[in-house]
Amino acid sequence: MTAPSTFGLSSEARNLHWLLTNLVEEVPGILSVAVVSSDGLLLLSSDETLARARSGPGPQGRGPRGSSADLATVVSGIGSLTVGASKLMDYGPVKHTMVAMDEGSLFVMSISDGSLLGVHGSADCDMSVVAYHMALFVGRAGHVLTPELRSELRRNQETAKGAEHESAGSPR
């Protein structure tokens, strides 16, 4: 049975959702995941996947401020900063960026055409395992993330966001 978020999507879009779900479910310590377009728009996120897999209170299943949309903003900013640094230093394109913090980690990896994969991990996640699984995702997703698929994913995000706003405003 197809999850509601993938209903009506192309097989390529459903495949990317499946790859993201696998990333979240297979790698311990992942708190939030976002796929971001080159212009900073959220294309795909782990919000639904993590809500199903890790329900309950606490930081488990939460990204920055609790949302993959917030993670997408951070990922886009870091992506822009590192691309600018790469151009300034003339070292070629950025492949990945890792930020280790006291209470967690942030990983950003280039997918294709400026699209980025961002992962927010817990403080105890194994950075090498996260990076390996991100590279697998990028290897599998990069060749199918065409402009048409990016448009489809963006429309799906907008539809989901609209449905979320409608349900939040309805009386219970």
Over range 123-141, report the average pLDDT.
94
Q: Residue 116: inside a domain, yes or no?
A: yes
pLDDT at 43 over 70: yes
> pTM to 2 decimals?
0.81
Q: Residue 132: inside a domain, yes or no?
A: yes
pLDDT tens digits for range 51-109: 444 444 444 444 454 577 789 999 999 999 999 999 999 989 999 999 999 999 999 99
Tell me, what's the pLDDT at 132? 95
Q: Residue 81: inside a domain, yes or no?
A: yes
Nearest by Cα to 14 from 2, 24, 23: 2
Q: How many domains does the chain have?
A: 1
Q: Residue 171: inside a domain, yes or no?
A: no
Q: What is the DSSP string of 124-152?
A: TS-HHHHHHHHHHHHHHHTTT--HHHHHH
Q: Please give the mean pLDDT across all residues of the chain.
A: 82
Cα–Cα distance list, 120 to 37, 49, 93, 141, 151 (Å): 17, 14, 22, 19, 24
pLDDT tens digits for range 115-127: 999 999 999 999 9
Q: Residue 122: inside a domain, yes or no?
A: yes
Q: Residue 170: inside a domain, yes or no?
A: no
- Domain ranges, residue 85: 4-165
Q: What is the CATH number of the domain that holds 69?
A: 3.30.450.30
CB 33 within 8 A of CB 53: no
Q: Residue 71: inside a domain, yes or no?
A: yes
Q: Residue 172: inside a domain, yes or no?
A: no
Other beta carbons less than 10 A from residue 122's beta carbon = 15
